[in-house]
Structure 1
């Protein structure tokens, strides 16, 4: 147990706070900074409430959570770390809520190795790397966050990971909005994804996400790009006002697109190139600068697919 308030904890050789073995302290309004390793280290089933602290300029992550630990990290400023902001690994849990996470050298939040936190109502921005990085079978519910102005992808999902990303605003990134690769999976639903320098959503190499009911717009390199054997279900999205195609399908990829509105793009609606395949059903494709559906360069549809495109997509 224990209650710590308005402490200044700095320049420690290990963590500023180490919590383990079911310990459950409350830490409020403290400054935790310039640690030689991390700021807060919760492990071996530790708990704790860390509320409205400033956690900054630590050599490793500002907060580490591992080995079935389940703390609450709420209302903190976590910034300018020499590595990441919050690092959850090795079956870590936790509630990461209403924090301002920015200016870290690596991902604002990293989730890996079967960890499954709840991440909600955070601002994750201006990182030198990506916003949220989920890898090595990471899980978790990531909802109602604002992720913006990061150097790499707003959210990365890779290597067998299966997070649920719901009702986030992911915008103004210097690369991609959401990037699935190397068998990254999961659910991306009801998000607003906009104004990225590359595509809003980008996935490849065996990734098979469910992408539904999102608004994906203002991308400088298209709305959704699927390539290198990407799969996935793209359903009930509104994809509009992108500089290139609303959806690109390339290089042996085979997604399913159903009931999407794809409109007002400055290129084609759906472009299928370089051996891409795909099933297109009941999409509404309109007011794009080029073709509604463009099929080219070694991507002839199977006869059934050709019929699906004619019968089930409205193009005007």
Structure 2
């Protein structure tokens, strides 16, 4: 290279320069503060603009093509020393038409995007759970007229097939009863689904149906958000450093690089076919308003090393890596963007990255809509995340975050996927219409799930591993295709999601992902209270396709103060429980089969529950069970069915069966029946049934009540009907939500025609 040759086409350190309608090729332009510049309608081919400590620089209506490095570099904090042109430029900027959003411009952008992709249109629900059209009926198909009253399944489990499907109130009398035998009414109320989504009820998902969202879940326009958030408005209105607007960056390596306390504002630009659009590092700040960023070969916007600023109203799509990548303590405000059709995730937060992610539409990305890992800890609120090919939000590898008031729908994997040390707080989200489970808490996943509505997902509402010690509280889990809440010890594939999503993740420029492990956040979130046991408390679990709660676990589990109602199979199924599963103060009602089933070798304690109006037995058990102080009333099978191999203590319960026995003991079941109050049902059934002379069935101090005349009235009093919340062990989070679990059984009345056979034991019969 000749000594006289220099790549610099122009260089200034103190003056002001203005370029209009110029072409630059294969060189550099450099401006140092306090120098200033204004560039309009210029073309830069493989030309680099370097701005160092500039107090103010304006680039507008320019084209940057084919850069081998960054097209524009903004470095250093803006100089506090201003030249004569600074005031002139500032006046020009403020007098130019505002690029801040208005209501009309927000509407136009939405319409444009809607025409680009039908993902913007409301979902036409194609998920149908078989069953009645009534929101309060069990999630099962109605039987044909003339079908049998009941069928007896394996292990003697009774499955009712009656045409009526009352969810509570007056339990109907048998259609086949003779008038001279018994006219029977059981008068009480059981707890049905609680209102959700601003006081409304969610009925069964039907084709063409839509959900009326409460105001807290409706997306605001950018104009509305800026009016509400004064800090964001101040950022959007500020001008410092470099202003780049209405420029085109294409077909090169980099667009804009802001570093070392630099400041840059970008408005209305297009970044396309670059390696990356914008990089912001080393305590720099960017303001990005209404830009289009697409077809980048890496991430669209990349922030690291405490980068920050405002990213609002942008359309970010079709990028090969994340639309926005936040790392190493960067903390931007990401507001009202459309991030879609990416080949990886929409937004990635890792390596102690933070940020506020609010009011965005994130859809149709190949991987998670938002992916949080390696101690990433953002606040994610009021976003709509939908139609992704993987999870809506994935929290892995010690990721954290507060995830609140989002609508997460129609994603191929779990709406929210938590595993491998992820510890988020999930609060007040609507997670619906997913093609898999609503929420997955996988291997080593933890966290708090509170006050969410998990609705109409094709898999389970919540799938979790008990070893992860999740805290599931005050959620509404309804109309999901399989279980409402499923608790397992392990899952096939060692807890990996389909496709090995976690193992395939590549974090690009900063090397191996394990480097982030050394950068731990020391400040612990006070909202995360440690718990020693997996906990399912104060949830409403109703109208799911299979059992409301399914347990196949080898760890401790507490199930407390839930409403488990009108599910398509049993209320609770305990298939495996080598350690104690504690079921306390729950309302379990109107489920299509038994209220509770306990398999062999399972350890379960039932205390203070109200088990009402289930179509099978109240409780059927083969395992090691303790049943203390429960109300087991109005079930169509036996109140308690004790099968061979069971070892059951039944103490101080109130038990009544609508059509069958109060207590049935089969085979060599081991049982202690003590201080129970057992009410008679139909006159052709006894209160107690025992098959074979079982010496291991011990009965002590039980009270048996038989109707004798029409005026007899029995009340569930002293104590009142269960469950009783005032004595339950409710966590502070459940108390905070204000959700109540009530069962108001008031009285049992009967009108008896004819006498009772005095020679037949009302308590025990040997068959």
Q: Which residue does the alignment assign to 2:629?
A: 311
Q: Which residue does the alignment assign to 1:75?
A: 336
Which of structures 1 and 2 has the larger relative contact order (alpha carbons within 8 angstroms, sep 6+)? 2
Q: Which residue does the alignment assign to 1:25?
A: 286
Deviates more, 1:298-307 or 1:40-49: 298-307
Distance in 1, Cα, partners of 2:602 & 2:353: 44
Does the 8 A contact of 1:35 with 1:59 survive in 2?
A: yes
Q: Which residue does the alignment assign to 1:7?
A: 269
Larger radius of gyration: 2
Distance in 2, Cα, partners of 1:77 & 1:99: 6
> TM-score of the superposition, structure 2-length normalised?
0.40
Secondary structure of the structure 2 residue equivalent to 1:12: strand
Does the 8 A contact of 1:38 with 1:61 survive in 2?
A: yes
Distance in 2, Cα, partners of 1:232 & 1:303: 17
Matches for 1:132-151 after TM superposition, within 5 Å: 132-151=393-412
Distance in 1, Cα, partners of 2:417 & 2:394: 5
Listed one character per residue, the Cα deviations across residues 12-66 of structure 1 (whole Å, up to 9, x for unaligned) are 12x2010111111211010011101010000011002010000000000000000
Q: Which residue does the alignment assign to 2:583?
A: 280
Matches for 1:98-177 after TM superposition, within 5 Å: 98-177=359-438
Distance in 1, Cα, partners of 2:309 & 2:319: 20
Is 1:61 paired with 2:322? yes
Distance in 2, Cα, partners of 1:302 & 1:96: 43
Secondary structure of the structure 1 residue equivalent to 2:357: strand
Distance in 1, Cα, partners of 2:554 & 2:371: 30
Listed one character per residue, the Cα deviations across residues 65-109 of structure 1 (whole Å, up to 9, x for unaligned) are 000000111000000001110000111000000000000000000
Distance in 2, Cα, partners of 1:3 & 1:76: 16
Does the 8 A contact of 2:466 with 2:487 survive in 1?
A: no
Deviates more, 1:19-28 or 1:125-134: 19-28
Does the 8 A contact of 1:76 with 1:99 survive in 2?
A: yes
Kindly state the Cα deviation for residue 297 of structure 1 after the two structures are TM-superposed.
3.4
Q: Which residue does the alignment assign to 1:38?
A: 299
Unaligned runs of 5+ in 2: 1-262, 492-532, 608-623, 635-767
Unaligned runs of 5+ in 1: none
Deviates more, 1:289-298 or 1:86-95: 289-298
Kindly state the Cα deviation for residue 293 of structure 1 after the two structures are TM-superposed.
1.1
Secondary structure of the structure 2 residue equivalent to 1:271: strand
Does the 8 A contact of 2:466 with 2:557 survive in 1?
A: no
Secondary structure of the structure 2 residue equivalent to 1:306: strand
Does the 8 A contact of 2:582 with 2:606 survive in 1?
A: no
Q: Which residue does the alignment assign to 2:565?
A: 263
Does the 8 A contact of 2:606 with 2:630 survive in 1?
A: no
Kindly state the Cα deviation for residue 257 of structure 1 after the two structures are TM-superposed.
0.5
Question: Are residues 314 and 208 of structure 1, via their aligned partners in 2, closer, same or farther at CA, if it must alter by over 3 Å?
Answer: farther
Q: Which residue does the alignment assign to 1:237?
A: 539
- Structure that is richer in helix per residue: 2
Does the 8 A contact of 2:583 with 2:605 survive in 1?
A: no
Residue from 224, 228, 238 that aligns with 2:489: 228
Distance in 2, Cα, partners of 1:167 & 1:157: 17
Q: Which residue does the alignment assign to 2:474?
A: 213
Question: Are residues 28 and 313 of structure 1, via their aligned partners in 2, closer, same or farther at CA, if it must alter by over 3 Å?
Answer: farther
Distance in 2, Cα, partners of 1:128 & 1:30: 25
Question: Are residues 195 and 303 of structure 1, via their aligned partners in 2, closer, same or farther at CA, if it must alter by over 3 Å?
Answer: closer
Does the 8 A contact of 2:466 with 2:534 survive in 1?
A: no
Question: Are residues 313 and 26 of structure 1, via their aligned partners in 2, closer, same or farther at CA, if it must alter by over 3 Å?
Answer: farther
Is 1:292 paired with 2:595? yes
Listed one character per residue, the Cα deviations across residues 106-128 of structure 1 (whole Å, up to 9, x for unaligned) are 00000001111000000000001
Listed one character per residue, the Cα deviations across residues 118-147 of structure 1 (whole Å, up to 9, x for unaligned) are 000000000011100000111110000000
Does the 8 A contact of 1:145 with 1:169 survive in 2?
A: yes
Distance in 2, Cα, partners of 1:251 & 1:205: 7
Distance in 1, Cα, partners of 2:364 & 2:556: 38
Does the 8 A contact of 2:475 with 2:538 survive in 1?
A: yes
Distance in 2, Cα, partners of 1:32 & 1:302: 57
Does the 8 A contact of 2:439 with 2:462 survive in 1?
A: yes
Distance in 2, Cα, partners of 1:208 & 1:216: 19
Does the 8 A contact of 1:31 with 1:54 survive in 2?
A: yes
Secondary structure of the structure 1 residue equivalent to 2:629: helix
Distance in 2, Cα, partners of 1:301 & 1:142: 33
Question: Are residues 89 and 265 of structure 1, via their aligned partners in 2, closer, same or farther at CA, if it must alter by over 3 Å?
Answer: same
Secondary structure of the structure 1 residue equivalent to 2:305: coil
Deviates more, 1:127-136 or 1:272-281: 272-281
Secondary structure of the structure 1 residue equivalent to 2:349: strand
Secondary structure of the structure 2 residue equivalent to 1:250: strand
Q: What is the count of residue pairs matched by the alignment?
A: 314
CA-atom RMSD in angstroms: 1.8
Q: Which residue does the alignment assign to 1:179?
A: 440
Secondary structure of the structure 1 residue equivalent to 2:319: coil
4+ long deviations beyond 6 Å = 302-305
